[in-house]
Each structure stands twice: as C-alpha cells, then as structure tokens.
Structure 1
Amino acid sequence: MRKYLSNALLLGAVAIAGFTSCNSSSSKNVSRATGWQINSKDGGFQYNTNFTEQETAPGLVFLEGGTFTRGRVQDDVMHDWNNSPTQMHVQSFYMDETEVTNKMYMEYLDYLKKVYPPENPAYTNIYYGALPDTLVWRNRLGYNEVMTNNYLRHPAYAEYPVVGVNWVQAVQYCEWRTDRVNEHILEREGYLDRNVKYQVTTGELDGTFSTETYLNSPSNVYGGQIDSLQGKVKRDSTNVFAKRSSGILMPAYRLPTETEWEYAAQAIVGSREYNNYRGRKKYPWDGQYTRSGKRKYRGDQLANFKQGKGDYGGIAGWSDDMADITAEVKSYPPNDWGLYDMAGNVAEWVADVYRPIVDDDANDFNYYRGNVYMKTAIDKEGKVDIVSQNDMRYDTLPNGRIIARDLPGEIAMVPVDENDTYLRTNFDSSDNRDYRDGDPSSTRYFKQFDIDEEEIDPSKRMYNAPTHEIRRDEEGNIIKQYDESNTRTTLINDEVRVFKGGSWKDRAYWLDPAQRRYLPQYMATDYIGFRCAMSRVGSKATEKKTPRH
C-alpha cells in the first residue's frame, strides 16, 4: 500500500512540476495586471516580450555610466577657472569608436546629392549647406592648397577625420545617420521590402524615410507610398508598422554632451579598484607623459599634437608621431573604453552651449546646458504637420551660409508653449540655454521687480556677443552687416558651442580632457571635427554583475 501511495505522490509531483514549468515559460505573455493573453493572434495587447537589451548601433562603443570627477585636476595655467572639479554622474551611453571620417561624411553628401539634387532650385541649398568648408586650410603665409583641393574627397584621406564642419552641420549629420540606420533595421526585420532604401537614392521612389515621421505618421513616409513597400514578414501580421514598443528602432544619433565626452575621454574605468579610482589621469592614457612607457612601444607618441614651435610631428624617423596635419583614425592606441583619438588629431564639437561656470549646484546628473524643448506641430485638421517641398525653411547663418532647417518628409517642430509648462516644477519655458547662467540677474542693471529680462539694453547684458546681421534686399540679394559696436564685452552668447580635446594644431596642454574652449556654432576650422553618441535605454550595464569572490 505504501509503495503504491509513494508512486502516486511521485506522479503527482511530476505533473505539478510540469504544469509549473509550462506556466512559467508562457508567463511573459500573460499580463500580470489583467491575466489576459499578450500577443494573442486573436487580438488584444501586442508587445515585444522577447526584448533583451539595446543592440549596439553601427560604429558605436558601449560606455557604462558612473560617477567621476569632472573638471580640471591639474594646474590651471591659463587661469580660466571655467571647469573647477566637481562630482558628476553620467548615465550609460554609446559613442563613436573614432571621429567621423571623410569617407563617412562623403556618404552623407552622396545621399543628399542623389535624393535632393542641387540642380533642382528647391533643393540647391540642402546639398551646398551640408558641404564642409574646404577653405579652412588656407593660410595667408602658408601653402596648403593640396589640402584645400584634396583633403575631403581624395581616397588618400578617406579614413582621416572630417574637418571644416560647423556645429550645425554636425548636428544635421547625426539626424541623417539616425534615419539611415533605422531604415536599414526596418528592412532587416522585415517591416520594409528589401532594397527600399536604394530605391530612394536611384529616384524610383518620390520621398524618403524619417524615423519620427514613421513613428508618428507612417502613412506619410516615402511620399505616402509605404503601403506598397511593407516587408513580406510583417505584411500579414497585426504589427504592420514598428513602434517604439517594438524595441527595434534605435534612439537618435547625436553629439555627446560635454560631460559625456569628458567622461569618455578620461576613461577612468581603467583606474578603478573596487569602488575607488587609483590616482588622477592627466591624459586619456595612464602616466604624465605623451610618449609610451611600455617596453615594446617605448618612446612612441600616444597622440597627434603640436610638440613645439614649428614642430608638428617631430624629427622624421623613429621618434616622429607619423602625422603633420591630421592622422588616419586608429593610428594611436585606444583608451580604456576602446575609443580612439580622444586626445589629439582633431578637437571635437560637443552639444553644450558654453558658459564660464558649470552649475553643478543645479544638477549633478547627466549635466547639459543647451536644452530647447520642442513638440510636434499639428496642422488645422489636427494631423501631424509634415514638411513638404513647398514649405521648406532655411536658416541664414551670421556668416551668410544657408542651411536647411528641415528636410522634406520630416515632421515640423514647434517650441513648447504655456499649455505644456503650466504649473510644472521641472521647467517653465522652451529655451533653457541661459538657465541659471548669471545673465541678466547678476548684472548691476537688473531690477527684478521693475523690468523684464527682455527689456534690458543688449549692450548691458552679461553675454552680449557681437550680432552680425544678415538681411536681404528687395531683389533677394544677401546683405551682410558686420557688428562694429564698441560696447561688446564678450564673445559668448546662446549660439556659442563647446569643443573639447586637443588637435594636431594644439600643444600638449589641450590634450587634458577637462580643457574646454568655445566657438560660434556657425564657424568651422581645420582642427575641429566631431563624433556621434547615442543614449542607452534600459539597463545600466550590458552584463549582469557577479560576485568577485
């Protein structure tokens, strides 16, 4: 009797275990809120329950976020005092392994030229507005015409960092790259037919792809032809279009914030010991010198920079840094994150508006100055406003260069208004570039209760940089008016952006990741390039933490 009872109990236990196993394996598709089936073929709530983590987009390296000391930890010989040491925390993010190269930027120009041919008067300024300024190589007392004529396009410089690109152009490149990567992913995952992206460049399709348009109004993508371009895998599915909840589309490529860039350049992860850092790093590599101390590479330069007056590379031969102007990317060892040329080669644009003071009292988490909050424009019919060829808008920069603000097929954006900011505590306006920057309340002309900020005489503002006017006459000709005022006291305003890192043209002092300089966002040089970054969504780390012992 006991034997039979034992066997019965054993069979019951196996049955319960089997039921539990089956139930646990399908529990991710059963709602813990309602008990309903998720992703049922009969309908209901559809969600990507198989999502694991964000994939690493093309060209990027993952950087796990953490706390670090932002700011200058070495002597401030310039006495700028514009980056005092302060503790900051950065969220995990991704950054380009190298600077954007000439070949990468040429791909962008090739796309614009094919999709928006400059022969079409409506598109002329799209292509020409994206062209780098090759004249930045010219010097009144130097012969550099070989770079002026060849640096951007010649294959010999294909893997060299692109220069002559202003901040606005760098931002627009990031936006273009976001759309091309997501377009490729949708094709790969079966939401679009194969080679749809090439049909755009060959002129077979009238219209192009925009990530935000696809997410907000997919029927307007590819000039309204997307229904005939859907991939075979998803054509008969309930998920006709991918959404944010699908988990396959990438966040936007963008310029890194200054804090992210400095965190990435310091690469203090290599100096970590448990929950402390061993010492302070002067450069992105260990040690106090610019030459390698490793036995195999002893004496080799670790970056491309100006070593002294009239010395841009050293004596030809063994001790040379193998570059006089810029160098091919990956010519020098990467830092502990696996990032190349975070010191030297070219300095790099970052996203921030420059201010002499970093306001760490207001925020010590993902610090960034430059937020301008926008929202999707809605037309009179209550639909998303899509930019067409006829209502494209262009910005004329202070130097006379014309830049397309939006491309056809993109969603028009407008600043947030009082309806979005009413009774909010975290922000109260669209433009926050000058938030807590000392202007105008720190000036002796400011009277808090008697005068509005906008009424202050521009010549008496703290950040009253020159304002060079651009206007057109009755015939449409551009008239440039240089600001000759003698009341200007600074070059800083809301259109001045930070650039970081030393370059081939800079002394070793500027290789310190904490150094910061600025330039108007419409200007370009022969020593400033850029690289893209991308935010991390989801978990902080790509791997689960395990006990060390």
Structure 2
Amino acid sequence: MKVLTNTALVMLGLGVMLSSCSNKQQSQKTGLAYNDRTNGGYLRYRQSHPSPGPGLVPIEGGTFVLGGSADQDVAYEYNNLRRRVTVPSFYMDETEVSNQDWLDYLHWINITFPTDNELYYNALPDTLVWRKPLSYNEPYVDNYLRHPAFQDYPVVGVTWEQAQEYCVWRTDRTNENILREKGIMTTWKEQAGGGRNGQVAGAASANGAGGANAAAGVNGAAVGTADGKQPFNTDMYLNGQVQGPGIDGKNMIKDLNPNAQATNGRNGARRPARLEDGILKQGYRLPSEAEWEYAALALAGNTQFENINDGRIYPWDGLGVRSPKKNTRGLILANFKRGAGDNAGVGGGLNDKAIITAPVRSYQPNDFGLYNMAGNVNEWVADTYRQTSFEEMDDLNPFRGNEFTNKRLADPTKGQYAKDKYGRPIKDPAKSDKKLKYSDMIAQQQAQAANANQPANSAQPASGAVTANAGGVKDPLAGKAYTNDYRGYGDSVNNSLYGTTTLVNNHSKVYKGGSWNDLSYWLNPATRRFMDQGDASAEVGFRCAMTMVGAPEIYPQGKPHIPVKKAKNYKAR
C-alpha cells in the first residue's frame, strides 16, 4: 500500500507539472506565449486584487445621497444640497493619524536631513493652537504632541498642506519598506552595513539612470543627508532613477527582455519592480469629501439586496448619541461637547470619558471598521470649498480641487525627471488636456529642459507641486490657453476680495466630522466647514486614503455571479 501511495504521489506531481506546462498563458489575439524569453519576453503579470497599505481598511463603493444625512441646515447656508452620486471602492485609514505617527515622521526628517532645520520646522505641528486668552491650556502646548501619555491621541495643529506632505512621505516609506523587505532593494540590515557602521536607513543613492542630475538636482545642490544619499522616492524609482550598486537587492525580478544585460553570470538579467508587478502601493492621499462622507455613513451595514433598510444621521443606527445595547446602554458613542461648559459630564460618571481628544481607537468603529468618524477631531479632506459644490460636481467620484500637473523632464532624450533638493520630481502646471502629437511633445520637452536649471518657485512645497496659474497656461504649440487649475471650476469667486467680502478662495479646504469641542449637530457626516489650507486648529486632524484599482467588489464570496468562460489556448496547425 505504501509503494502504491508513493507511486500515486509521483504520478500526480508529474501530471501537475505537465498540465502547468501545457497551460502556459498565451495572448488571446496572437497566440504568443507570455513570459517566454525565447519569443521576445512578452509579459503577463499575475492578476490579483491589491491589498491595502498599512493602516488601511477596504471600503466597497456604491451609490448614496451626498448631503442626504443632514436633517436640517441650522446655519441656512444651503451648502450640502442632496445629490445622488457614486463613490468607487477605495481604502481608508482605520483611525486618525496619531501623535506617534507624526513623531515617526519628524524622527525620519531628523535622521535623514539632520542639518535641514527649515524642513523640520515646517513639519512641526502648531502646538500654539491650544493657547486661548481666557483658558489655561498651556500644559497642552508643552505636552500634547510629545508626552507618551498622549501618543495614541490624534495629531492636531496640522495644516492641510502639512497633511499633504505627510501623505507623500508615507507613500515613499511604505513602498521602500516593501522593496527592502522583499530584497528587491538592499535590505534594511544591508543598507545599515549589517548594523556596524551606523549608516542611516531610508536613504537611497539615486544614481544609476539619474546621472549627475539625480545626485545634485536641478535647483541647486541636494540637501545634505546623514549618509550623503537622497531618500527613496516612488516616482523616481518607477522611472528607473533609483537603482545601481548598493541599491539593487539580491531578489530583483528576472528580466525576460532579450535585450536586457545580465547582472551576473548566475542569476541572469534582473530589473527593479514595475507598476505592472503589483508590488508597490498606490499613493496615500487625503480622502475626497464624497469618500469621507460615504465612509462615515457606512450604509453597507444597513443594506440587503440593494435596499437600504434604515438611513442614518450619525455613523451608527438610531437618532440618538447614546448606546442602546445592553452591556453599554446609555454610554456616549462619540467624543463631543454635550452642551456649553459640558465637555465630559460629571466627575465619577464621565459620559464620553474625554475632556479634550481621546485615543484614536476609542468608541465602537462603524460598519466599515473605521474609528471616530464622528467626534474626537474634525478631519481635513482634499476638496476645495465652494458653497455650491454638490450642485456642480460630477455624479461619479465627485471632487473639487483638481490642479493638473506634469513631471518636469531634466533629460528629454532619456525621459528622466528633474529633481528638487529632496529628491522628488518637480511638477509643473499641465500644458494640455490631451495626448500631443509626437513632434509637439518633443518640442515641449525641449522647452522644459531649456528651463530646467532655473530656480523653482520659492513658495513651492517640498513635494515639488507648483502653484497653478489660475489664468491658464499659454500653450505655444496649440495656440490657445489651457487652464490646469479647476479648483474653482466655473464659479465667479474673486480672489482679490478674499478677506474683505469673502473668506472663500482656492486655498479654502473642507473639513468634516465634528470634534471634542463641537455640539452633536456637527457629528452628522453631511455637515461641512472650511478653513484656509495654511491654518491649523486644536480641533482638526486627518486620516489618509488610498485609491483601489481593479474590481470594485471586495467580498465576492457567497454572492451570485454570472459565470465567465476562460479563453482557450491557441494551437498552431
């Protein structure tokens, strides 16, 4: 019996090997085999549903009524009129960004750019937001950000601009960590010299394809890092400008291109990861207002066969703010201000257990698994504020705030990006809304390269994004103006009147959700307020989101589906 069993296992193994060879993937249109070096190395990558980045949970998209959860407009602003829209599936942070998360960011800046005092200063939250003329809040000024007692509390005093910079930094650190953990880049231990020489981890020499421009940038000398190398940047890596000795790992991906040069005799040609490999994560970003409101309502928990059983005023069921469940009956479900002078209830029986903010995992998550989508701190979203946004935006993935940009090329012949002093691509206002003819594209790139050595806008943030030209960019090739700035699309707001007759302009950004110092009305996900993108508050924090690519259905198991036949392999006759 044992001999028969072993024989059966051997035959089964051979059958699997033969079937895998005979079922090699082919092009459905030409019959060419994929991933075969002998026929040119046409690539077909493993198709899979991407996993979320660290800290994120998946949000299955769908239709809902934007602004529909507001039962009243107490300010009579008419700024959240009901409109049915569709939000595609996306990922969102399970919790608000905490003080510990921000301290990680500050620590990285400190060890990577130890002499760049300006960068560190600009990343510091404004702890003076706690200062009030008639309140003794000075202990929060000194302790809230850095004291370990507050490490799990949401970071506050952060501007919209700082939140955007954090998203860029988080994207690069996440992708770098993935590549180093997989050995596609040198591992953390190898990067640190095996732990012996104290080299700072997290910086990567951007030589390789980047040449002298990659090392020095195009706007002056690169900022001095602790190890003399510029940090990893996702865009630069995907463009082939972060590779070479000391960067490439032992587990780089096999390059099936017959023109590829072998890196060594044993392993053959190797290459860095590409977007098509599905290894790197999409960029972290602020959620749009529609995404945030959809995620806060979490109507998926009240939906069956496309029927919403009950609407919601808050991220939980019911009309009240107290728990109806047996074990938690009567407890406040969010951190907010119950009334004037009542931030937490009576000593010995505190209602929401928080005088100011609360830890980011306080209270019950909503049906999407998100914590504190009502109360604790208001949260920045990506949208530029307009009173009539809900009436004017598209009904698919609505968003107001587009500033279309292109990455500047330092070397058009090689397709290499120009860098700022922090190793990030410099971004210029987009010149066109369509694909140009090849001759026009070359002429435009040459014009960009001619201006590549000019200093960047002094007001430009570290990410390289430039302030858009609201009057439109004159395209000498097309002979007409193209406006890359659509933050105030089609409205009549006059920026020259800002601060005189209006507080609304293209720097006015939306925040939502209510805070520890707000009344229960602001806990409704449809309510919206705005603040200048350069201002901060002790009542405003943020969380990040990430675009989901591919199929929108997150949990297809157990749901009916129309069967789809697989394509047959072509056999030459």
CA shift in 2, pair 1:25/1:151, >3 Å: farther
The equivalent residue for 2:398 is 367
Which residue identity does 1:177 align to in structure 2?
R
CA shift in 2, pair 1:329/1:358, >3 Å: same
Which aligned pairs between 1:396-545 and structure 2 lie closer than 5 A?
405-406=461-462, 428-436=482-490, 438-439=491-492, 461=494, 464-466=497-499, 488-544=500-556
Partner of 1:109, secondary structure, is helix
Paired residue for 2:46, among 44, 50, 53? 50
- Give me the whole-angstrom Cα distance separating, in 1, the residues matched to 2:315 and 2:76: 22
Which residue identity does 2:30 align to in structure 1?
T
- Give me the whole-angstrom Cα distance separating, in 2, the residues matched to 1:268 and 1:207: 45
Which aligned pairs between 1:143-542 and structure 2 lie closer than 5 A?
143-195=136-188, 196=191, 198-200=200-202, 203-204=226-227, 206-216=229-239, 218-219=240-241, 221=242, 226-234=244-252, 236=267, 238-360=269-391, 362-379=393-410, 382=413, 383-388=416-421, 405-406=461-462, 428-436=482-490, 438-439=491-492, 461=494, 464-466=497-499, 488-542=500-554
- Are the aligned partners of 2:80 and 2:390 in contact in 1 as well (CA < 8 Å)? no
Post-superposition CA distance 1:526-545 (Å, at most 9, x none): 00000000000111023325
Deviation at 1:207, TM superposition (A): 1.5
Which residue identity does 1:180 align to in structure 2?
R
CA shift in 2, pair 1:46/1:128, >3 Å: farther
Deviation at 1:406, TM superposition (A): 2.5
- Give me the whole-angstrom Cα distance separating, in 2, the residues matched to 1:281 and 1:352: 23
- Give me the whole-angstrom Cα distance separating, in 2, the residues matched to 1:380 and 1:332: 53
Deviation at 1:281, TM superposition (A): 0.4
- Are the aligned partners of 2:27 and 2:33 in contact in 1 as well (CA < 8 Å)? yes
The equivalent residue for 1:137 is 130
Following superposition, which runs of at least 4 residues in structure 1 exceed 6 angstroms of deviation? 18-21, 389-392, 410-416
> Normalised by the size of structure 1, how large is the TM-score?
0.79
> Normalised by the size of structure 2, how large is the TM-score?
0.76
Post-superposition CA distance 1:504-540 (Å, at most 9, x none): 0100010000000000000001000000000001110
- Give me the whole-angstrom Cα distance separating, in 1, the residues matched to 2:301 and 2:187: 43
- Give me the whole-angstrom Cα distance separating, in 1, the residues matched to 2:513 and 2:74: 16
Which residue identity does 2:462 align to in structure 1?
D
Deviation at 1:51, TM superposition (A): 3.1
The equivalent residue for 2:571 is none
- Give me the whole-angstrom Cα distance separating, in 2, the residues matched to 1:522 and 1:284: 29
Partner of 1:232, secondary structure, is coil
Partner of 2:23, secondary structure, is helix
Deviation at 1:395, TM superposition (A): 5.3
The equivalent residue for 1:472 is none
Deviation at 1:329, TM superposition (A): 1.2
Q: What is the percent sequence identity of the aligned residues?
A: 41
- Give me the whole-angstrom Cα distance separating, in 2, the residues matched to 1:304 and 1:168: 26
* Ranges in structure 1 where 5+ consecutive residues have no aligned partner: 1-17, 397-403, 441-460, 467-487
- Are the aligned partners of 1:37 and 1:44 in contact in 2 as well (CA < 8 Å)? no
- Give me the whole-angstrom Cα distance separating, in 2, the residues matched to 1:314 and 1:184: 45
CA shift in 2, pair 1:23/1:365, >3 Å: same
Which residue identity does 1:388 align to in structure 2?
K
Paired residue for 1:79, among 57, 76, 81? 76
Partner of 1:370, secondary structure, is coil
CA shift in 2, pair 1:108/1:138, >3 Å: same
CA shift in 2, pair 1:185/1:102, >3 Å: same
CA shift in 2, pair 1:423/1:184, >3 Å: farther
The equivalent residue for 1:59 is 55
CA shift in 2, pair 1:302/1:536, >3 Å: same
Which residue identity does 1:102 align to in structure 2?
N
The equivalent residue for 1:473 is none
- Are the aligned partners of 1:374 and 1:413 in contact in 2 as well (CA < 8 Å)? no
- Are the aligned partners of 1:95 and 1:531 in contact in 2 as well (CA < 8 Å)? yes
Deviation at 1:354, TM superposition (A): 0.1
The equivalent residue for 1:125 is 118
* Ranges in structure 2 where 5+ consecutive residues have no aligned partner: 1-14, 193-199, 204-224, 253-262, 423-452, 562-573
CA shift in 2, pair 1:310/1:245, >3 Å: same
Which residue identity does 2:99 align to in structure 1?
N
Matched positions, count:
470
Deviation at 1:124, TM superposition (A): 2.2
The equivalent residue for 1:444 is none
Which residue identity does 2:201 align to in structure 1?
Q
- Give me the whole-angstrom Cα distance separating, in 2, the residues matched to 1:367 and 1:421: 32
Matched, 1:69 2:65: yes
Matched, 1:89 2:83: no
